[in-house]
Amino acid sequence: AELSDLEFVQFHPTALDNPRRPMPLISEAVRGEGAVLVDDHGDRFLADTPGAELAARDVVARAIADQLGAGHRVYLDARQCLGQRFAKRFPAIDAVCKQAGIDPAAEPIPVRPAAHYHMGGVAVDAEGRSSVSGLWACGEVARTGLHGANRLASNSLAELVATAAWVAGCIAGTSAGWQWPRMPAMVAVRPDPSSIRQVVSNALGIVRKGNALREAVADLLPIAVGDTAAADPALVALLMTIAALRREESRGSHYRSDFPGRNPKALPSSLTLCRAFESAVSLNWLRSERSY
């Protein structure tokens, strides 16, 4: 199937910075109540940014990543705005923090960005049809275009409820027609992304760069064509890396430090598995030629 906008991954700016996986989120609502982001000296580093702590997720996530990259820790400080009211206002977040040994009423919460939502996916039309006859997609796996380059918080559930209804309406008027022959059931290896996590973090994080993306292609390609439990995750990461390499601009959640400007025209990107493999193989070939 045709895939689109795979380079656009939203990072939630404020996940609890502790070893628990997946990282629990400290919702924007806490910042909405007035909590501020501070560095390890207690200084607000977003005070002069338009929107400050409530700027778009990519802006806040990048500012936090800059601090972390400079060796600082980052905290969400809700002591002044909420203090003892924190537990009543945010009981679930309070419980998660306390499990990690942090009392948000009395101390700042350590935070860092976490990969959160994929705007890209299977390219579909307004009724959820993919490029493959008989295949519809909706929800996070689909790329409807509704989220552009950066989803607004809380819009994904609204999107998937709306688009699921469109898909259902479209399928209801379609005959089953030709049916795929029954295939023997294949038990997939349970995917395990742990061995590629570092490669993906280095190349496909909040700030991307051509060289790191090309290195990631070289690392991911042999794993993606292998038969280990990392093969499927590596394949997805490879597709995203090729898409990120091709978008030579910064837009929404996709930030290239080597292309910080935004192209005047917003264009969706498009990729298939075959085209991604062709690109990956030729990139690797060019790399090996240059190293002689």
Ligand X SMILES: Cc1cc2nc3c(=O)[nH]c(=O)nc-3n(C[C@H](O)[C@H](O)[C@H](O)COP(=O)(O)OP(=O)(O)OC[C@H]3O[C@@H](n4cnc5c(N)ncnc54)[C@H](O)[C@@H]3O)c2cc1C
Contact residues for ligand X (CB under 6 A)?
A: 25, 117, 139-141, 154-157, 160
Q: Nearest distance from residue 54's CB to ligand X, in Å?
A: 16
**Tokens of residue 272, six digits:** 């298939």
Q: Nearest distance from residue 8's CB to ligand X, in Å?
A: 14
Nearest residue (beta carbon) to ligand X = 139
**For ligand X, which is the closer residue by CB, 15 or 271?**
15
In the chain, beta strands by DSSP E = 3-4, 9-16, 36-38, 75-77, 109-118, 121-123, 142-143, 270-271
**Tokens of residue 223, six digits:** 């794993």
**For ligand X, which is the closer residue by CB, 177 or 184?**
184
**For ligand X, which is the closer residue by CB, 200 or 283?**
200
Q: Which residues are catalytic?
A: 57
> Do residues 198 and 177 touch, judged by C-beta distance below 8 A?
no
Q: Nearest distance from residue 114's CB to ligand X, in Å?
A: 9
**For ligand X, which is the closer residue by CB, 81 or 164?**
164
How far apart CA 232 and CA 56 sit, in angstroms, is: 31
Enter the DSSP assignment of 203. Answer: H
Residues 6+ apart with CB under 8 A from 105: 78, 79, 82, 83, 84, 85, 86, 87
Q: Nearest distance from residue 102's CB to ligand X, in Å?
A: 18
